[in-house]
Structures are given as structure tokens and as C-alpha cells.
Amino acid sequence: MKEVDLILAEDTRTSGNLLKHYDISNKLFAYHQFNEHKVLQRLVERLTHGESMALITDAGTPGISDPGFLLVRECIKTNIEVECLPGPVAFIPALVSSGLPGNRFFFEGFLPHKKGRQTRLKELAAMPYTLVFYESPHRLIKSLQQFTGVFGPDRKASVSRELTKMHEETVRGTLQELIDHFQNKTVKGEIVIVVGQKE
């Protein structure tokens, strides 16, 4: 990252602290879900004129439920070389530590908040795979209750939060057991829910 002309960061404050720790002082530019459409063409133009850029996110991997897909797609269309370095992504350790089959899984990421949510859950219920979801802490209980209604209360599942961080936690059980566990708790951090295959 010390060699690029510009570092695109999901949150320049968070990334700035990390870069400072590693003595990286390259220019930072905020690139996130609220501006990625607006600044995309300008960034691609700069790349076509020979600039080099690095894209980083707060936690996770760009393009996996984080900004990045639009820029990568546009770079490929414009014949700009894209290099991807392996990094942290929450759903892989969540899947492995769930104890549920990981040989065939489907990564859904974030479900729609309202419109189409129930329809999408019914479609997923018909899939013969372990299902992986991202969820925010304040919607955890509601999602688990919806999952119970669609998949059944006895479906095996796990909830992982704050993966690869100091307060990492994974709780396993049936969907109903997970509801009971988290019902009266204040949950913080990023959440991954893994739902097992229908038995």
C-alpha cells in the first residue's frame, strides 16, 4: 500500500489509524456504499491515466458485502488489471466453527430489510445447502424468529459475532435455542448466522 497513488477506504478514520500504525502515509479517499456510484467513473478515469489504487474496508474483504464490486467490474470492463490479496472474511470462520456441513453452502449475505424478505427466505428454504447470512445486532432476534417460521424451530444453526476480534463468540444450537439464548441480551458487533441443511 505504500506504493500506490491513492488508498480507497470505507472509513478514512478507521483505516487512517491502521495505516498510521504501519507508517503508511499515502493519500486516503473515502469510498463507501453512499458514494461509490457517484465517484466510480472519476476513479476509473484516474486509473486509465496510469494512477494506481488500493481498496480496503473496515473489516472484511472488499466486494463481499462491502464496497468493491462496482469498481472491480468497471476495471475489468476497461481492461485495468485487478489484483486481489487474500484477507479476512467473516463467513468462512463462522461456517467452519458452526460445526455444520461446509462442503456445500450458499452465501446469502444480507437479506432484504423489508420488501421481498419472506419470499427470499422461502426460496432459500428449498435449497439443499448450509445457508450463511450477515445480520446487524439490532435485527438478530427478529431474523432468528423469521428463520424459525420458515425453516422450523428445530433447524440447527449458529450465531457468530465479532469474528477475528477481541470479543469473538459463537453460539450453536437449534434456531429456538438461539432465540432463547439471545432474547434478553444486548448484542454488539457484526453477526454471521449459519443455518444447517434440512435433515
**What CATH number is associated with residue 155?**
3.30.950.10
Q: Are residues 97 and 177 in the same domain?
A: yes
How far, in Å, CA of 88 to CA of 76, rounded? 23
In this structure, the answer to whether residues 126 and 167 fall within a common structural domain is: yes
Whether 86 is in a domain gets the answer no
Q: Does one domain contain both 71 and 159?
A: no
What one-letter code names the amino acid at 82? V
Q: Is there a domain that residue 13 lies in?
A: yes
Domain end among 27, 51, 77: 77
Domain enclosing residue 32, as ranges:
6-77
Strand order in the sheet with 28-30: 28-30, 6-9, 53-56
Q: How confident is the model over 123-158, as pLDDT tens digits?
A: 999 999 999 999 999 999 999 999 999 999 999 999
Looking at the domain assignment, is residue 43 inside a domain? Answer: yes
pLDDT, tens digit, 9 for 90 and up, residues 62-97:
888 788 999 999 999 999 999 988 777 889 999 999
pTM of the predicted model, to two decimals?
0.82
Are 59 and 124 part of one and the same domain?
no
Read off the pLDDT band of 199 (50, 70, 90): confident
Our count of domains for the chain comes to 2
101 and 182 inside one domain = yes
